[in-house]
Chains A and B, each alone.
Chain A
Amino acid sequence: MNGLTCRLQYRLEHFELDLDLQVASGVTILLGPNGAGKSSLLRLLAGLGQPDSGKVTLGEHCLYDSNKQIDLPPEQRRIGMVFQDLALFPHLDVIGNIDFGLKMRRIQTGERRQRVQLLLEKLGIEHLASRNVATLSGGERQKVALARTLVTEPQLLLLDEPTAALDPAARGEIRRWLQTILTRLNIPTIMVTHNAEEAAYFRKRVAVMEQGQIVQLGSFHQLLREPGSEFVARFVGVNYILGEVRSEAGKLQFVSCGGSRFLAPFEQVTTGPAFLTVLPWDIALYRELPEGSPRNHLHGEIREVVIIGDRVRITLSREDKLVAEISARGYIALGEPQPGEMFWAVFKAREARIENSDELPY
């Protein structure tokens, strides 16, 4: 097993970082709201801070163990980290930056030159070799920062929001480039992101962190289908309605905080506080409530219309708020609804998912 196993506790200002996490080879996305402790976690793993207690092992090596009083300094952990602002050395050129780690390990000049050259070719950035780091574009800087780390052959890679500082055009390119490189590399990699697109791009394993704890772990698809919290639902763009499950005349029913009633499959759900999630593209809009099969519906006023390419996101609210995503064609067929108009939002009972929550509905 060459993955990372960590179990650690660390007191932060407002809450405690407390987690138990296994990271296997490949990319694991670490997702979470601002101030959830993501960067703190990366720093603790890298040895730039010391946990209060716990144990961190990477492959066979123990990096930290509070019981055995083991705490390897960062330079002995064989962890590569790319900071959000990259921290390229301003006094060295591109080659100097990439060569740095090898030079510190006192590897001979000939071998160093060879390894740097090989890596430059592998990453497709030979043309940057003699450039001054101050003249590089955002994307190029990102590539050099990763190269600088990879040349030391780390056993674990930590990437802190690698595309956050880039403009949208460069972001796509770097994301593709990263995916190619990281797939080929196949070492345990933790990538912190704020960006849903990025999570969708590296979609296999996503860990969600809130208030210092891992609250959900799964594929991006699972997050989309079964968001475990309001943050996740918002993040992936799923409707999230708080309320409670009531039993009325022997039948379960979901009553939102706003008072709307919805039906759902109610699998493994008991009465009490709960939340309902429904995907925006599973919601249809009508001017008149259609007759027929029993469906969930909400009558409300259109608050916002956002057109994204050939999709249109429409926010409708009354007592509760729902976001529907329909095709541009469907939008035109509806007569191009505008904010202020009243519409019916309708979705099938089986499209809704209800789960009990610890949060009180009121």
Chain B
Amino acid sequence: MRRPRFFNLLLIGSGTLLGALILLPILALLLAGWSSGLLHLLGQPQVLQALWVTLLSSLLALPLIFLLGLPSAYGLSRCTGRLRRSLEILLELPMVMPPVVAGLALLLAFGRRGLLGGLLTDIGIRLPFTLGAVVLAIIFVITPFFVRRTVVLFDGIDQKLEEAALLLGATQLQSFLHVTLPVVRRGLFAEGVIALAQGIGLFGVIILFAGNLPGRTQTLSLAIYSAFENDPQQAFGLGALLLLISLLLLGTVHLLAPREGR
């Protein structure tokens, strides 16, 4: 069946425009980054520090996101009706919160004069402006997204598999560890990588809650912001570096995640 020719042109035209809109800035950044000496950047101690803080905070946050998110997501996928809808709305709260506002909110909850500030000071924990704050900010923003997506994975599991495991003598925990998780392992891996990529890109929440202290809380995103004010060339180079890391993660997801549909 042939579609009207005008309509076909419309589809192709808008698709091409969108493609250009996505690819053009990426290309421009990579070109600018290359000319400013991408490899040369990796020799600079501040850059290496920012890279280290970025990777360390994300890698520290990831297991915590899994530890907190997986049971929550599984529990949510077993809920139905009004309870499930309420919990989903609770999850959407941090998702719709502007990152800068999230940073302020975290400060007011865990800061020195925040709601839990006194308690934390008493047991000798000072969160704001530490690597711990970076990790907590990542967990706060990323976990809800992670849970929302992993719930879909758990929803897709045939419940009979878990019932079969129980009838074969597995406890519910055993069934979760030996059947549920392995069955969705590829999807979980992909979600982990996506969480990593999202965490690396955070900016507003970190700068407000953790500050922009080079070597301690300055991630690559914050370093770009600082560099842009003094030395735009440096910022382009860092931007290209961050982009390459993200592309690498995206590639990993698509290499290892299960192919969907088609």
Contact = CB atoms under 8 A, between A and B. Distances in A.
Interface of A: 46-48, 73-75, 77, 79-81, 83, 85, 87, 89-91, 100-101, 103-105, 148-149, 152
Interface stretch (B167-175, B210-218, B234-242): B167-175
Contact of A75 (B160, B161, B171, B182): B171
B170 A83 contact: no
SS class of chain B's interface: helix, strand, loop or mixed?
A: helix
B160 A87 contact: yes
B163 interface: yes
Nearest to B164: A87
Nearest to B162: A87
Given A87-B160, A87-B161, A75 B179 contact: no
Contacts of B169: 75, 101, 104-105, 152
Contact of B160 (A74, A83, A100, A105): A83
Given A87-B158, A87-B160, A79 B167 contact: yes
B78 interface: no
B187 to A, nearest CB: 12
Contacts of B183: 89-91
Contact of B168 (A73, A91, A100): A100
A89 B163 CA distance: 11
A100 B167 contact: no
B166 A101 contact: no
Given A91-B185, A100-B178, A75 B163 contact: no
B174 A104 contact: yes
Contacts of B178: 100, 103-104
B120 to A, nearest CB: 40
B179 A73 contact: no
A101 B163 contact: no
B166 A74 contact: yes
B165 A104 contact: yes
Contacts of B167: 46, 48, 74-75, 77, 79-81, 149
Contacts of B160: 83, 85, 87
B185 A83 contact: no
12 contacts: A74-B163, A74-B167, A81-B167, A87-B163, A89-B164, A89-B165, A89-B179, A89-B183, A100-B168, A100-B170, A149-B168, A152-B168
Given A73-B166, A74-B167, A75-B169, 13 more contacts: A74-B166, A75-B168, A75-B170, A75-B171, A81-B167, A85-B160, A87-B163, A87-B164, A100-B168, A101-B168, A104-B165, A105-B169, A149-B168
Interface centre among B163, B164, B174, B178 (most CB of A within 10 A): B164
Contacts of A91: 179, 182-183, 185
B55 to A, nearest CB: 31
Nearest to A145: B164
A152 B168 CA distance: 7
A81 B165 CA distance: 10
A104 B168 contact: yes
Interface string B182-205: 110100000000000000000000
Contacts of A81: 164, 167
Contacts of B174: 104
Contacts of A47: 166
Contacts of B182: 91
A85 B158 CA distance: 10
B168 A83 contact: no
Contacts of A48: 163, 166-167
A48 B185 CA distance: 26
Interface centre among B163, B169, B171 (most CB of A within 10 A): B169
A87 B169 CA distance: 15
A87 B166 CA distance: 12
A84 B241 CA distance: 54
Contacts of B165: 89, 100, 104
A357 to B, nearest CB: 39
B118 to A, nearest CB: 44
A104 B176 CA distance: 12
A62 to B, nearest CB: 18
Nearest to B170: A104
Given A100-B178, A104-B178, A89 B161 contact: yes
A46 B119 CA distance: 49
Contacts of B168: 75, 100-101, 104, 148-149, 152
Contacts of A79: 167
Contacts of A105: 169
A83 B164 CA distance: 8
Contacts of A90: 161, 183
Nearest to A82: B164
Contacts of B179: 89, 91
Interface string B117-158: 000000000000000000000000000000000000000001
B178 to A, nearest CB: 7
Contacts of B164: 81, 83, 87, 89, 148
A82 B169 CA distance: 14
A177 to B, nearest CB: 21
Interface centre among A46, A77, A101 (most CB of B within 10 A): A101
Contacts of A83: 160, 163-164
A87 B165 CA distance: 9
A88 B161 CA distance: 7
